[in-house]
Amino acid sequence: MTDISTRAGFVALIGEPNAGKSTLLNRMVGAKISIVTHKVQTTRTRIRGVAIEGPAQIVFVDTPGIFRPRRRLDRSMVKAAWGGASDADVIVLMIEAHRGMTEGVSAIIDRMRDEMPQGQPVALAINKIDRVQAEVLLALAEKLNEAFPFAKTFMISAEKGYGVKDLREWLAGQVPEGPWFYPEDQIADLPMRMIAAEMTREKLTLRLHEELPYQLTVETEKWEDKTDGSTRIDQIVYVMRDGHKGIVLGNKGETIKAIGSAARADISEFPGRTVHLFLQVKVRPNWLDEPERYSEMGLDFKDGD
């Protein structure tokens, strides 16, 4: 028994598209769990990874890039992003050093001031400091801190790893005392499952973004390393409506087949084994609005948890 009490909580990373959220997450959790992409607006609110720092378990909620809504669809994504942020115990606003206080950043700050009455601590993470001079950085930090009462400011480079440890340690101290959400052995194989789900989702998005933008989610149900050196992976593609199912399947199942083989090719690079990927499409309405925070994490809570 140890008398150090454990801590656990949710941290929402918010920021404009391309701020570097995925890159930071990859560093924080020590494994490549979400696909860093140059394409914008590919992420949605969900659990991206779990970091352990001393007695603390930090569960990162990644959010879609928060940006000014242009189309109706974008608005629902923004809503989802704020949903994730307001549920979190701690918020980290990530901005790009070389872009500074953009219109988008000001808009996020305005909304944080107006719409987040819970009073969670908000940290400012100025990212990509490798791209600017120190004086520029200090002036920017000052300006942002005048605009919003940040609990703390971090100057980081997610890509190079500068300042990331400090941020993680600070977060560990901010999350509330309490039992861990995930047993340690479940975290170990989490990244691979998540990478695999993310890869399939990416293929789906690439292929179907016009018909079904942001309306699907992928979970890895089963991951079985077989003794013959191959790996069987079962994933479920969740869609929101019955009608969407047909779109994902395609005529005679050819769409899902094409997506499956593209995803399989990417996924097999990771374990370095032959991968057999099985995709199933299911309808799960309203996953965007599900009230329970745990249900859409793509993580399994075993019976009794």
Residue 9 labelled as part of a binding site: no
Residue 129 labelled as part of a binding site: yes
Residue 247 labelled as part of a binding site: no
Residue 30 labelled as part of a binding site: no
| Shortest Å distance, C-beta 245 to ligand GTP | 27
In the complex with ligand GTP, which residue's Cβ is closer, 138 or 258?
A: 138
| Shortest Å distance, C-beta 11 to ligand GTP | 15
Measured in degrees and rounded to the nearest 5, phi and psi for residue 196 equal -60, -45
First to last CA, the chain: 21
- Alpha-carbon distance of 145 to 143, in angstroms, equals 5
Residue 268 labelled as part of a binding site: no
DSSP string, 228-293: TSEEEEEEEEEESSHHHHHHHH-GGGHHHHHHHHHHHHHHHHTTTSEEEEEEEEEE-TTGGG-S-T
In the complex with ligand GTP, which residue's Cβ is closer, 205 or 268?
A: 205
In the complex with ligand GTP, which residue's Cβ is closer, 20 or 49?
A: 20
In the complex with ligand GTP, which residue's Cβ is closer, 45 or 157?
A: 157
| Shortest Å distance, C-beta 119 to ligand GTP | 25
Residue 242 labelled as part of a binding site: no
Residue 66 labelled as part of a binding site: yes
Contact 127, 162 (CB under 8 A): no
| Shortest Å distance, C-beta 180 to ligand GTP | 26
Of residues 18, 8, 111, 102, the one with CA closest to residue 57: 8
Q: 164: which 2 tokens?
A: 């990331």
In the complex with ligand GTP, which residue's Cβ is closer, 8 or 13?
A: 13
| Shortest Å distance, C-beta 164 to ligand GTP | 9
In the complex with ligand GTP, which residue's Cβ is closer, 30 or 253?
A: 30
Alpha-helical runs (H) found in 61-159: 72-87, 103-115, 134-147
Order the strands of the 230-239 sheet from edge to edge: 216-225, 230-239, 274-283
- Alpha-carbon distance of 125 to 154, in angstroms, equals 5
Residue 286 labelled as part of a binding site: no
| Shortest Å distance, C-beta 49 to ligand GTP | 12
In the complex with ligand GTP, which residue's Cβ is closer, 95 or 256?
A: 95
The residues of the shown chain that bind ligand GTP, judged by CB under 6 A, are: 15, 17-23, 36-38, 40-43, 65, 127-128, 130-131, 157-160
> What does DSSP say about strands 230-239 and 90-96: parallel, antiparallel, or unpaired?
unpaired
Q: 87: which 2 tokens?
A: 């549920």
Place of tokens 């791209």: 131
| Shortest Å distance, C-beta 246 to ligand GTP | 29
- Alpha-carbon distance of 24 to 158, in angstroms, equals 5
Residue 104 labelled as part of a binding site: no
- Alpha-carbon distance of 59 to 75, in angstroms, equals 25
Q: Which residues are annotated as a binding site for GTP?
A: 15-22, 62-66, 127-130
Binding residues: 15-22, 62-66, 127-130
